[in-house]
Structure formats: structure tokens, C-alpha cells
Amino acid sequence: MKIRLTVNGEPREADVWEGESLLFALREHMALPGSKNACEQGECGSCSVLLDGVLVCACLVLAAQADGHEVVTVEGLAENGRLSRVQEAFAEAGAVQCGFCTPGLVVATADLLRRIPEPSEDEIREALSGNLCRCTGYVKIFDAVRMAAGL
């Protein structure tokens, strides 16, 4: 089936099969490999994207469900060809080691700061609770969120 959607502000279309995930469609049909596939069952958050402004795991959304909707991936967060403040903060704080979890954490952080510009510690932990990282121990990740928020 053919789907038409807006991805990172641009109209896109793709031929997908009915059971295909949005994550697969983004990575394999739209040349957007930023969203990572780690668990494919909604456990790790590495595939986090915004669907009509709502944070979702792209591995749990059918590509067909995104037909006619708006998707923002980590690639869409850069502003005028420059890293967003969240992306910059992750790099500056040393919150990236292997980097596999980073796209999902960056999208989740951008979502958090759009909803709550100055989050509390509890709000940061709650917002990122669906994103697993094997490398950093989370300390640098929380530093990056605070840095991006200017806290």
C-alpha cells in the first residue's frame, strides 16, 4: 500500500506492506536511519519519534497508521543545518558513548523541554524513563538535559 505523510516538514510517500512498522519505513524507505532499532518491542526508546507532536516508539506504530500524519525524527531537530541546543548539549556534556540510544534520548528530551522548559529532576527522570542506555549510567544524560534547559 502507498502511504503519504509529512516527515521533518517535507511531504513523503512510500510503498509499505500492511504489517510494516513506521521505524522500518523511515529507515529503509525514506533514508532516515537516525531512529535506531534496538528491541523492536517498545522497551528501549531508541526509535523515539514525534507523531503529530506526541512522543511514540516508531517500532510500535504501523507505517500505515502514519498515513496522512506528521512525523518528526531526530534528523528533523537540527535547525537551519545546525545542531539543536539539545543535540549540542548531549555532545558537550559527554552524554554520548556508543550513541545507539542517543537519537531516542534527544527526541525525548526535545519533547520534554517543549512541554516543560524548566523541568524538575523528577520530571526529567520520568520523561526519559522509557529510554534505555547501556553505556553512560545516565549521569551525563541528565547533565545534558539540564544544560539544554539552561538549569
- Cβ proximity to ligand FES: between 76 and 103 the closer is 103
- Cβ proximity to ligand FES: between 79 and 125 the closer is 125
Q: How far is the CB of 109 from ligand FES (least distance, A)?
A: 13
**CB distance 105 to 97 below 8 Å:** no
Q: How far is the CB of 17 from ligand FES (least distance, A)?
A: 19
Amino acid in position 75? E
- Cβ proximity to ligand FES: between 9 and 103 the closer is 103
Q: How far is the CB of 4 from ligand FES (least distance, A)?
A: 23
Q: How far is the CB of 21 from ligand FES (least distance, A)?
A: 8
Residues at the interface with ligand FES (CB under 6 A): 37-40, 42-47, 57, 59, 96-102, 133-136
Q: What angle do CA 16, 19, 23 make, to 5 degrees?
A: 70
* CA proximity to 86, closest of 104, 67, 66: 104
Q: Tell me the C-alpha distance between 138 and 59, whole Å.
A: 23
Q: How far is CA 110 from CA 11, 79, 132, 145, in A?
A: 22, 13, 16, 9
